[in-house]
Structure 1
Amino acid sequence: MAKQSSGKYEKILQAAIEVISEKGLDKASISEIVKKAGTAQGTFYLYFSSKNALISAIAENLLDLTLDRIKGKTDGTEDFWTVLDILVDETFHITRLHKDIIVLCYSGLAIDHSMEKWEAIYQPYYSWLEDVINTAIEQNVVISGIHVRWTARTIINVVENAAERFYIGCEQDVDLEVYKKEIFSFLKRSLQK
């Protein structure tokens, strides 16, 4: 699946997100998606092998959006704890805005049975956080001796899981800010030097 600069890929992807969000994956048709995108059906197949192939592209798009928002807010100048706080905030924000898409992505994971594909989609996010953690270790802010690769994945998974439980699982028995603060405090206690 090659992304092209023509914008057709993005148009099809955004149309797919809208149509699938409205109708669900099973009821959405490729013809509806390309009609909404203003492209020919053959163009769809230049980028996607099937309707199910959209799922990983949608997930990748959502992760790119998340990482771009986090990087945009951190601007590379904040300390580790500020970056972690922004990561928690933005993950909750994106999850609230796109909870239907997240559920769709999970259903696609069940259809596709391809953890390798999902790991590849997450790789830029993991790598970015690994670099942030390594810098924090060098600055003597985070405990040394941790497995940075595993820690980065765990942080992302814990924060995403908490946000999904809050918005998708409707576990809203506490105030949102209290919930986010508790996640942040848990991670800080685990990592603080």
Structure 2
Amino acid sequence: MKSKQEEKYQALLQAAMKVITEKGFEKASVSEIVKEAGVAHGTFYLYFTSKNSIVPAIAEYIFEKQLEELKLKTANTDNIWDKLYELINVTFDITERYKELIIFCYSGLAFFHSFEKWEDIYLPYYQWLEDILNQAKEKGEIDASIRTPNVVKMIIGVTEHTAENLLLSKDHVDEQNVKPFKEDLFKFIKKSLE
């Protein structure tokens, strides 16, 4: 059960994502965010130091959703290749679902000089994939000589870049156009790990 503080934080975060998606960051005001969240104006500042500080919180929310989906969809498989294919699918799905907010987060994090926060946001995701790769190394499914922390960042980086390059620059991309990219990306990652 969520505490009152967690409920208010989540209400503010959801409201901020909605208002920013509808109006853009510059036009979104703290007043509109708190009105949408149904909380007092001062409540915003109990959780965020400024409107700018919502940017890393939104990025963290998106990564938490992605990791939650990945854990759920890979829970019943021990096969590294199924897990990696699911990583690709979930990354593409999340990118499509949150594309306006992802674009905003990139520009917002760059503009407000918070790139150092990216590493903290990514840590649970990195750790999840590192654990999976280490287990695969122990089972002999992948090359035991790979440097897992480095490879984790490469896999996540190339997967996100491919999804974003395809999905963020276009208004609509259907699954028929996306599927070959997913398949080629999977082959590329698999070949690099064998």
The bucket for the TM-score relative to the shorter chain is over 0.9
Q: Tell me the CA shift for residue 169 of structure 1.
A: 2.3
Deviations along 1:81-105, whole A, 9 cap, x unmatched?
0000000000001111110010011
Aligned CA-pair RMSD: 1.8
Aligned counterpart, 2:96:
96
Aligned counterpart, 1:126:
126
State the distance in 1 between where 2:48 and 2:115 align: 19
* Contact residue 129 and residue 152 of structure 2 kept, 8 A: yes
Give matches, 1:9-158, under 5 Å. 9-75=9-75, 77-158=77-158
State the distance in 1 between where 2:156 and 2:76 align: 18
Deviations along 1:98-146, whole A, 9 cap, x unmatched?
1001001101111222322110000000011000010010010111111
State the distance in 2 between where 1:159 and 1:104 align: 19
Count of residues in correspondence between the two structures: 190
From the superposition, tell whether residues 6 and 145 of structure 1 become closer, same or farther in structure 2 (CA, over 3 Å).
closer
From the superposition, tell whether residues 123 and 76 of structure 1 become closer, same or farther in structure 2 (CA, over 3 Å).
farther
State the distance in 1 between where 2:10 and 2:110 align: 24
From the superposition, tell whether residues 75 and 125 of structure 1 become closer, same or farther in structure 2 (CA, over 3 Å).
same
State the distance in 1 between where 2:75 and 2:21 align: 32
* Contact residue 56 and residue 114 of structure 2 kept, 8 A: no
Code of the residue aligned with 2:89 in structure 1: it is: D
Code of the residue aligned with 1:182 in structure 2: it is: D
Aligned counterpart, 2:165:
165
Please report the TM-score for the alignment, with normalisation by the length of structure 2.
Answer: 0.93
Aligned counterpart, 2:177:
175
5+ residue gaps, structure 2? none
Identity %: 46
